[in-house]
Amino acid sequence: MKAKKKRIIVRMCVHCRVRFAQNELYRLQYIQQSPIAQKKIMLYSGQGRSFYLCCECVSHRKVAHSLCRVCKVDKKGKDDMDKNLKEAICQQQK
Ligand SMILES: [Zn+2]
């Protein structure tokens, strides 16, 4: 007998490196250049490379370090990364 299995897509949080079901994670991307703004983190728009953060890590104090690493941004930019991330998450929660 065939068991009915729902396929769960599992992705890894870039900060804590724990694997979660995709729907439990924030899917984000880093835009190098866009018409409205340059270089920012935003919710995944469906194009380009994306990365994932879990619900706990989005508010973690040191998450910007991981973001800089993932997005290949100099550590000097981490305050901006942190701010961008918070903005992106706010959009998601609306
Ligand atoms: Zn995490």
User: Residue-wise pLDDT tens for the chain (94 aa)?
Assistant: 667 777 889 999 999 999 999 999 999 999 887 666 578 899 999 988 999 999 999 999 999 999 999 999 999 999 999 999 999 999 877 6
Q: How far does the centroid of ligand 1 lie from the alpha carbon of residue 37, in Å?
A: 27
Instruction: Give the distance (Å) from ligand 1 centre to CA of residue 20.
Output: 9
Q: Cα of 63 to ligand 1 centre, how many Å? A: 9
Residue 94 DSSP label = -
Predicted local confidence at residue 24, as pLDDT: 95
**What is the model's pLDDT at position 11?**
97
Closest CA to 53 of 66, 40, 71: 66
Residues, CB-to-ion distance under 5 Å, ligand 1? 13, 15-16, 54, 57
Report pLDDT for 92. Answer: 78
| Burial class of 81 by CB neighbour count within 10 A (0 to 12, 13 to 18, 19+) | buried
Q: What integer pLDDT is reported at residue 91 of this predicted model?
A: 84
Q: Please give the domain boundaries of the chain with CATH numbers for all domains.
A: 10-93 (3.30.1230)
The answer to whether the CB of 14 falls within 8 A of the CB of 25 is no
Beta-strand ranges (E) seen in the chain are 10-12, 19-21, 25-33, 38-43, 51-54
Q: How far is the CA of 19 from the centre of ligand 1 (A)?
A: 8
- The whole-number pLDDT of residue 63 equals 97
